[in-house]
Amino acid sequence: MRRDDALRASFADTTNHMKFLPVSPRMSYGQMRMTLYQVAPELTVGSAILPDDLNGIYRMDTDTIVIDRSMTYTRKRCTLVHELVHRMYGDVGCGYRERRCRMTTARLLIDEDEYRVAEAMYDGDPWLMAEELNVTPQIVMDYQEWLHDSVAT
């Protein structure tokens, strides 16, 4: 099986909640979009000006993600991964699933070693760390919450 076929098969598998998401902490928004064309051709990712405070939305019935085009590329990148996590879990709506989605998104976008360096460099300040890690401050705070919870268990 070719590598592209293996990636596509693992990404499309809807029975496994820990399936492969074609993202890494070092990928840009554009790189993520290009990768999705290869591994998930059935998924439509588009952009539009979204109402109110919506950053993005995933529609399961059409297998479509829409990202607010007025955001920065860093915010688009974080929102795309967030919506891909909703897709991975088969979420319809948000509600109680939102916390799980946010924790998973943070773990996908932040490299553990890079986080440690940024935390030491900026004394744990989420705003400065976010700039260093190419994520939003909310992603850093979600990662910090996940770290706290994982130590507590």
Per-residue pLDDT reduced to its tens digit, 18-58: 346 889 999 999 999 999 999 999 999 999 999 988 999 99
According to DSSP, the residues that pair with 65 across neighbouring strands are: 45, 58
pLDDT of res. 12: 42
Q: What's the CA gap between 3 and 56, in Å, rounded?
A: 30
pLDDT of res. 1: 45
Structure tokens at 113: 């070693």
pLDDT of res. 20: 64
Structure tokens at 140: 């850093």
Q: Give me the residues of the chain with pLDDT under 50, please.
A: 1-19
Rg (C-alpha) for the chain, rounded Å, is 16
* Amino acid in position 96: Y
pLDDT of res. 21: 81
